[in-house]
Structure formats: C-alpha cells, structure tokens
Amino acid sequence: MSIIFYHVFLLLYRTGVRLISPWNRKAKLWLEGRKGLFERMRAELAAAAGKPGPVIWMHCASLGEFEQGRPVLEALRRQSPGCRIVLSFFSPSGYTTRKDYKGADHIFYLPLDSPRNARQFVDLVKPDIVLWVKYDYWYYFLVELKKRGIPTLLISGIFREDQPFFKWYGRLHRYMLECFTHLFVQTDASRLLLRRLRLTENVSVSGDTRFDRVIEIAEGGEREPLPLIEAFCAGRQVVVAGSTWEEDEEELDHFANTHPDLRFIVAPHEISEGRVQEVEGLFRHSIRYSVLARGGGAPARGQSAWPEPNVLIIDNIGMLSRLYRYATITYVGGGFGDDGVHNVLEAAVYGKPVVFGPVIEKYIEAVELTECGGGLIIDSALEAEKVFNRLLQNAEELKETGEASGRYVHSKKGATQRIVLYIYENRLLTS
C-alpha cells in the first residue's frame, strides 16, 4: 500500500463512519468520543504535568486487546508505583467498557491517524515508553514515535502469511513494523515470518499474555461468588455459552429447548435490546439476568409450559469470564462466522471442555486446544447435541477433556514476566 492509498483509506473510513452514524450506535459513539478530544486531553494532562515518574502509554484496539495488555500494565504499576499510565482505545466497545478502569491515570480515544493528530497526541501524552497490543497499526503514530526515539513495544503480536506485511503491496505495513523497538510475538511461526522481512534481533517469542490474564482471573481477586448464578444453576449440569452470535444460538436452541433438566447460561456478544429479544425468541424457556437481579420471575415468551426457566440470558457486559467456572461444559461463540471463534482461554482456564464452531484457523490457541484434546469442534446443531450428550453421559470423558483444557492454559503462562523483564533489563522505564 502506498501512502496515497493509505490516505484514501483514512478518508473513506472517516466518511463511512459519518454516513452510518445516524443509525449505527458504534459509529455514533466513535464520532462523539473524539469531539473535543485534544481539549479534554490538554486539560486533564496539564493537571498532572508536574507529577514525577515515567509515563507509560498503552494502546489497544478494543476490549479484547486491553485484557491482553492488562497483565503487563498492572505488573509495571506494581514494580513502578510512581509511574503514570495513559490508556487509549480505537473502538467504542473498548473505551465505553473500560473508561473507568482504576489501573490507568488517563483514558482516551485514539484520534484517527494523521500527521497532525499523531504529533498532538504524542506532544500531550509525552510517553517514556509505549506498549502497542497485538495489532491496530497506524502509520503516522508509529512513525512519530520512531522519529522521537520513544521505546515502542508490540505485545502479543501474531502474524500470518496472508497479512499485508508479507505481500508485494505491503511496503507501508512493513515500515510500520520497523518502527517498533521490539516485537514480542506469540508463536515461533510468527517469528519465522518476521525473519523473512529481516526482522530478527528485535523479535522475541514471549507467548500470549492472555494466558496470564485468564489465570489471574480464575485464581486471583475476581473469584467472588455470583449468588444469582449459583441459585439459577441449583446443582444442575450447566452449559455456559459465551460471546454468541445468532449462528451459534441456532446450533444450541433445540438442545436447550428439549432438555428442561439442564441449565443454560447464554451471554450474547452483542446485548442491544433487539439482539436480546432475538435470543429470547430462540430459547423459549428463558429469563434475563436483569430480570432475575430485580427479583422478578416473570417467564419469557413461551415459558408457561414449564414451572421455571432453564436458560439465563446475560444482558450485561463484564461477567462472562467469571461465568465459565459454573459450567459443566462451555461453548464459545464466533466459530460459525467469518471472523472466527472468540476467546477460548476464558473458558479453558477453569478446566472445562470447550466446544466451538469450525472457523478457528486464525486463532492458534483454539487450534492448539483442539489438538491437545480440550477443545471440541462442532459443525451443526446435530453435532452439538451429540457432543453435549456424550460429555454429559460420560463422566470420564468429561473429566479428561476438562483437565486437558486446564493443563493447556497453565502450560502457556509466563509471557507477562518475559516482557516486564525485558523492559527493566533494558532500562526503558526511565523518565
């Protein structure tokens, strides 16, 4: 891609967001969140300008990348409590969910890429070190950081041969990689791909920091019980289906609708009113978590044949990673869509079987989880029923599959420690 085409892309992106914003909530939030951004930054950062200590800037595309970078950020805070942390997001789903995150001193949207925006943003933040999580490469921001000699690390990078970096038209993308001081990648396959670009000495295989994060959630300070969930499960066998899309729910609804003795917890990827109503239409004996939390027991449509609902629809954000521990079997959505399966590690860390759809090739952790026996792929509703029945009726297979999941996750921990060690050994956190 030439710089001319890159500018065309930026123009089309901005225009497209404006055109769809009247009826697209995410586009509207994207625009509104950037109005007066530099004025807000100037006022907020000016108040903290006199404080000592290095400034760490971490950029994440969205919520998933934040969870990936979070272990590193919190480890740096523990070791350098006087540092100031600036967190930026490109996507509204990340910003709106984590805008009140207590681990950062300042949280902002990242403005759309341009030479002027990059200069202004870096002028205001004045970072001593920059952590760029996984991807979301923006040319002018990365060039500005390189020009100023600010240490910039890629965390949990993952590379595939079909990406622009490795194509004849990818010179601009390749230059963006050259702007990083160091690239921490998840796999040796990624390291070998970068070697083809003559990126060798500044590349390390650190693993994926998400393993550290999910282990922290499962074993750490977020283990407080969820009484409503416990009451709903009531000692029954439970299927927890997380990050589901309509295609996933259509594979699960018949099994749920015909097994009143089981409990199902369904956490849709999107929780707009219309989307939740769609889920209610598929799962006939359901109740929303918000209704349960208010003390309501009114059944959803079609529920009157049974005395109580057997499907709980989670209509909030932030609970999912803690819900999987209540499961007998977990199901992770996305595997029937073009983008592929969502985060299987949040489920696997609890030592539970993880079931998902067939689109997993972009996600090495889903591939590896399947290869080690902890992940099970389904390609139809009929296959889903066979897998669920087999696991629920065979305690030994259920136990072995779950143990394989847990062993896989714990075998991959340590990426955070490797990255933090590099930062301190190279004295990158100096103001």
Supply the Cα-derived Rg of the chain in whole angstroms: 23
Structure-block tokens of residue 14? 């901005």
Helix intervals (H) in 21-113: 25-34, 37-47, 63-79, 92-98
- Domains in the chain and their CATH numbers? 3-207+414-425 (3.40.50.11720), 224-411 (3.40.50.2000)
**Which secondary structure element, helix H or strand E, spans residue 177, and what is its range?**
helix 171-178
Structure-block tokens of residue 205? 């295989």
Residue 154, beta-bridge partner list: 132, 183
First to last CA, the chain: 36
**Which secondary structure element, helix H or strand E, spans residue 376, and what is its range?**
strand 375-377
The predicted pLDDT at position 303 comes to 42
pLDDT, tens digit only, all 431 positions of the chain: 689 999 999 999 999 999 999 999 899 999 999 999 999 999 999 888 778 889 999 999 999 899 999 999 999 999 999 999 999 999 998 999 899 999 999 999 999 999 999 999 999 999 999 999 999 999 999 999 999 999 999 999 999 999 999 999 999 999 999 999 999 999 999 999 999 999 999 999 999 999 999 999 898 755 678 999 999 998 999 999 999 999 999 999 999 999 999 999 999 999 989 999 999 999 999 999 999 998 865 444 444 444 589 999 999 988 898 999 999 999 999 999 999 999 999 999 999 999 999 999 989 999 999 999 999 999 999 999 999 999 999 999 999 999 999 999 999 999 999 999 999 999 998 75
Output the CA angle 302-308-313, nearest 5 degrees. 70
Structure-block tokens of residue 411? 């075998």
* Cβ(89)–Cβ(98) below 8 Å: yes
Residue 204, beta-bridge partner list: 184
User: 325: closest CA among 407, 406, 213?
Assistant: 406
pLDDT, tens digit, 9 for 90 and up, residues 180-233 = 999 999 999 999 999 999 999 999 999 999 999 999 989 875 567 899 999 999
The predicted pLDDT at position 161 comes to 93
Phi, psi of 287 (to 5 degrees): -145, 145
User: 163: closest CA among 151, 177, 178?
Assistant: 177
Nearest-angstrom CA–CA distance, 87 and 125: 10
**Which secondary structure element, helix H or strand E, spans residue 411, and what is its range?**
helix 395-411
Helix axes 171-178, 139-147, angle to 10 degrees: 40
Place of tokens 């759309």: 112
Residue 331, beta-bridge partner list: 241, 355
Helix intervals (H) in 235-305: 246-257, 273-282, 289-293
Phi-psi group of 396: left, alpha or beta (phi > 0 → left; psi -120 to 50 → alpha; rest → beta): alpha
Which pTM value belongs to this model? 0.87
The predicted pLDDT at position 69 comes to 96
**Which secondary structure element, helix H or strand E, spans residue 116, and what is its range?**
helix 115-125
Nearest-angstrom CA–CA distance, 208 and 206: 7
Nearest-angstrom CA–CA distance, 328 and 398: 8
The predicted pLDDT at position 297 comes to 56
Nearest-angstrom CA–CA distance, 98 and 87: 10
Helix axes 415-425, 63-79, angle to 10 degrees: 50
How far out from the chain centre does Cα 54 lie?
27
C-alpha pair distances (Å), 198 with each of 21, 109, 184, 207: 42, 33, 15, 21
* Cβ(147)–Cβ(179) below 8 Å: no
Neighbours of 15 (CB within 10 A): 10
